[in-house]
Amino acid sequence: MGAFPEHCADGVALAAVADAFDTPCYVYSQTALRARYQAFERALEGVDARVCFAVKANPNIGVLGVLADLGSGFDIVSVGELERVITAGGAPEDIVFSGVGKRRDELERALDVGVGCFNIESESELERLNTLATRRSQSAPISIRVNPDVDARTHPFIATGLSENKFGVDVESAATLYQRAAGMDGIEIVGVDCHIGSQLTDLAPFSDAAERVVALIDRLAAEGIDIDHLDIGGGLGVDYQADNPPSIADYVAAVCQAVGDRDLRLIFEPGRVIAADAGVLLTRVDTLKPAVATDARSFAVVDAAINDLIRPALYDAAHAVERVGAAGDGAVTRIWDVVGPICETGDCLANERELTLAEGDLLVVYSAGAYGSAMASNYNTRPRAPEVMLADGDMIEVRAREAVADLMRGEKRLLPER
């Protein structure tokens, strides 16, 4: 399926990865990562634009390194992501620093390395950055993130462009803030920023948001504030299960149409649409619990859990799941709930899937390359799964499996008083 036809990618069988690294295990295809990034490059041919991969989607240094080698820029939301990009070979001047709550030390580190742009989300942040930059005799390049009050028609947890969301400032406040920024010694105005949400499967919200932000840019120009770039954010969805998102080419064309012939450089911040289908999660069936009553459910308990992939529990997300290879002896065909061993009823990776399964069978969970390992935790003291990059017939471990000792590092037992 997708980047893993016949359960194989880059000349390597998924079953071989599971044998070499055990399960659960994240697997990425270098070929697929490159292809999705290059799809943006093709769509933007002849357009003054920069693609900045949203690091939050997948911060693995191996993944970031593949994209850095292609010339990608990066969208970050923390100093930790900044350090990852630099370690992976990304250029600081090609980084945009987003995020609604940047700490002082994070701003200082970003000034140290010279990030390309700070996406400002509040008056307070603008004042703080100006003070820090002025003390250093620097001029910090900024965009202000505009909240256009556009319904992205996505899950409420990943909608960011409505007036009720915490992100950005409204159009009127943004215009006033730009006037203030224009008079600050430590600030250089370079752009306008907008991001309305994630996993969007309709072009209309993108077009609507772009038109509203472009109107602000025209207004600023009339007031003597020239804007060099428009950062339109990311958010283009992927086809988890019959979601039917627009193509990258159609998405780019819609934004370009809204911008028209204005002299603006465009910045795109794709994350999910580059990484999701380039990765899968491998897991094995540990225990089968077939229903014993007609109104009961049948459970396939696997060794992956919500600490490995929280999206189904958090967003009601639906990932395609398949068995890899032939079913084991005594396999049973049923409608299974694929669940993990975590002590939570919500620990379910897939609901009501018709599968033929036996204990020990290997399963693949598709479209797990974005917001999969990136959101993993150690809940129930479970070590995080390894991450493996497939490239030119090789299996490269780009993150080793944690040991339980790793999880306890830095903790200490209180000694009894004597």
- Report the amino acid identity of residue 88: A
Q: pLDDT value at position 161?
A: 42
Q: pLDDT value at position 315?
A: 85
Cα end-to-end span (Å), the chain: 63
* Tens digits of residue pLDDT in 251-289: 999 999 989 999 999 999 999 999 999 999 999 999 999
CA torsion angle 169 147 194 317 (round to 10): 130
Q: pLDDT value at position 9?
A: 97
**pTM recorded for the entire structure:** 0.93
Quote the tokens at residue 337. 């709930």
209-to-56, 193, 233, 234, 252 alpha-carbon distances in Å:
22, 11, 11, 12, 14
In whole angstroms, give the CA distance from residue 106 to residue 104.
5
CATH top-level class of 99-268: alpha beta
User: What are the beta bridge partners of residue 399?
Assistant: 387
CA torsion angle 167 171 177 181 (round to 10): 90
Q: pLDDT value at position 293?
A: 75
356: left (phi over 0), alpha (psi -120 to 50) or beta: beta
Residues of the chain with pLDDT under 50: 152, 154-162
Q: How many CA atoms lie within 13 A of 303 on its CB side?
A: 20
Query: How many distinct helices (H) and strands (E) make up the chain?
Result: 12, 19
8, 194, 256, 343: which is the annotated catalytic residue?
A: 343
Could you give the 3-state DSSP secondary structure of residue 328? coil
Q: Where are the domains positioned within the chain? A: 99-268, 277-408
What are the helix (H) ranges across 260-338?
A: 272-275, 311-315
Q: For residue 366, report the phi and psi dihedrals to the nearest 5 degrees.
A: -85, 165
Q: pLDDT value at position 155?
A: 41
Contact 357, 366 (CB under 8 A): no
Is residue 343 flagged as an active site residue?
Answer: yes
One of 2.160.10.10, 2.40.37.10, 3.50.50.60, 2.30.40.10 is the CATH number of 277-408, namely 2.40.37.10
* Tens digits of residue pLDDT in 232-244: 988 888 888 766 8
Residues with Cβ within 8 Å of 284's Cβ and at least 6 positions away in sequence, in order, are 18, 23, 302, 303, 360, 361, 362, 363
